[in-house]
A and B are shown apart, each in its own frame.
Chain A
């Protein structure tokens, strides 16, 4: 029944060791988003895709990369995680990018950096 699935739910990595987080959706939504959320803070948009069109937020560090090989899947790569990258990473989807743009979130991937 799950509609937006993120893996892994929990990821522990060492400082500087690359990490890939995955997201898949069964909703056939056009738009996919990656958010970073730290404790008691607002979600921070890192990237979003409208279909295959990639949109990088201006303040997203180069350390973060993303891929969307097809409509259903999206990946977040953190090339050299630092201690400041420890956070919950949320994938979300929406049918469109305007109007009553309700986001459906996955359960999140919690990243710990040692």
Chain B
């Protein structure tokens, strides 16, 4: 079966750095996405990785290792507004999106 694993919940301090991991086992691979979802709202796109390595976008970076079936989302200089769930999703060989259940990130002052 296809599977995406992420930690259920993480806590970090305002101004700090946090890394949210995602491991996947899918039928093929056509890219990995990270979405941010605030409570009660729709997911919004953060990043897309299809090749190995680090993609940096402001305070957020996303890393991919296809050989390890692994990605992480790195959030720097955390702000209270970063409190949200972070969803990892992988596109498989049939171009179907397989979603993780999300990691709820709690930011403390």
| Residue contact B48 to A108, C-beta cutoff 8 Å | no
- The minimal Cβ–Cβ distance linking B97 to chain A, given in whole angstroms, is 7
18 residue pairs bridging A and B, Cβ less than 8 Å apart: A40-B102, A41-B101, A42-B4, A42-B99, A43-B43, A43-B99, A44-B99, A90-B42, A90-B43, A100-B31, A101-B31, A101-B95, A101-B97, A102-B33, A103-B35, A103-B43, A103-B97, A107-B42
Cβ–Cβ < 8 Å partners of A88 in chain B: 40
Residue of B nearest to A106 (CB): B42
Contact with A along B93-106 (1 / 0, CB 8 A): 00111011110100
Measured in the bound complex, the distance between the Cα atoms of B91 and A108 in whole Å is 22
Residue B30 at the A interface, CB < 8 A? yes
Measured in the bound complex, the distance between the Cα atoms of B48 and A43 in whole Å is 18
SS class, residues of chain A in contact with chain B = loop
| Residue contact A105 to B43, C-beta cutoff 8 Å | yes
Q: Chain A interface: which size bin?
A: 20 to 34
| Residue contact A40 to B99, C-beta cutoff 8 Å | no
| Residue contact A105 to B42, C-beta cutoff 8 Å | yes
Interface residues of B (CB under 8 A from A): 4, 8, 30-31, 33, 35, 40-45, 48, 50, 85, 87, 91, 95-97, 99-102, 104
| Residue contact B104 to A102, C-beta cutoff 8 Å | no
| Residue contact B95 to A42, C-beta cutoff 8 Å | no
Residue A45 at the B interface, CB < 8 A? yes
| Residue contact B100 to A100, C-beta cutoff 8 Å | no
Residue A97 at the B interface, CB < 8 A? yes
- The minimal Cβ–Cβ distance linking B7 to chain A, given in whole angstroms, is 12
Contact with B along A50-73 (1 / 0, CB 8 A): 000000000000000000000000
| Residue contact B42 to A42, C-beta cutoff 8 Å | no
Residue of A nearest to B101 (CB): A42
Residue A99 at the B interface, CB < 8 A? yes
Measured in the bound complex, the distance between the Cα atoms of B101 and A81 in whole Å is 24
Residue of A nearest to B39 (CB): A39
Cβ–Cβ < 8 Å partners of B42 in chain A: 90, 92, 105-108
